[in-house]
Amino acid sequence: MRDTTLRGFTLLELMITVLIVAILGAIAYPSYQAYLARAYRSEAYTALNQWANLQEQYFLDQRRYADDMTSLGAPENPLITEAGHYSVQATATATGFTLTATALGNQLALDSACPALTLSSDGMKGPEDCWR
């Protein structure tokens, strides 16, 4: 008499399982990449706001805005953010300043919709869609 209690997976069942996992991965991976891009973008927001505050302090002390990051106390110009996803650069005129955070390396590839973020002395943020 044959033993019919043997259990296991057939090749077809295994292939269906692999297909389902591949489909879920194909859906989840782009969402994860978009999440990473937005999360890393917060590094630029923090840096821009921090250095804008230093620009205002510099203006109070010197009666002019700093036209490079080393004048504000940065070790280099342009300044590379702590995690290395952005470089921050300052430009100044007689009446204001603009800080620009430019994506670097992997962040540039992840966040191609927002390769550079700006913050000016009058509070203008650009591009507007990238600051949401």
State yes or no: pLDDT of 3 exceeds 90: no
State yes or no: pLDDT of 4 exceeds 90: no
Using a cut of 0.85, tell me whether the model's pTM lies above it. no
User: Distance of alpha carbon 69 from its chain centroid, rounded?
Assistant: 20
Give per-residue pLDDT as tens, 50-91: 999 999 999 999 999 998 889 999 988 889 999 999 999 999
Cis peptide before 127 (omega within 30 of 0): yes
Long-range contacts from 55-60, C-beta under 8 angstroms, 24+ separation: 55/90, 55/92, 55/97, 55/99, 55/121, 56/121
The domain made up of 11-131 has a fold known as Glycoprotein, Type 4 Pilin (3.30.700)
Give 1's pLDDT tier (boundaries 50, 70, 90): low
- Here the tokens at position 48 are 């821009």
- Here the tokens at position 22 are 């591949």
Alpha carbons 10 and 43: distance in angstroms, whole number: 49
Give 2's pLDDT tier (boundaries 50, 70, 90): low
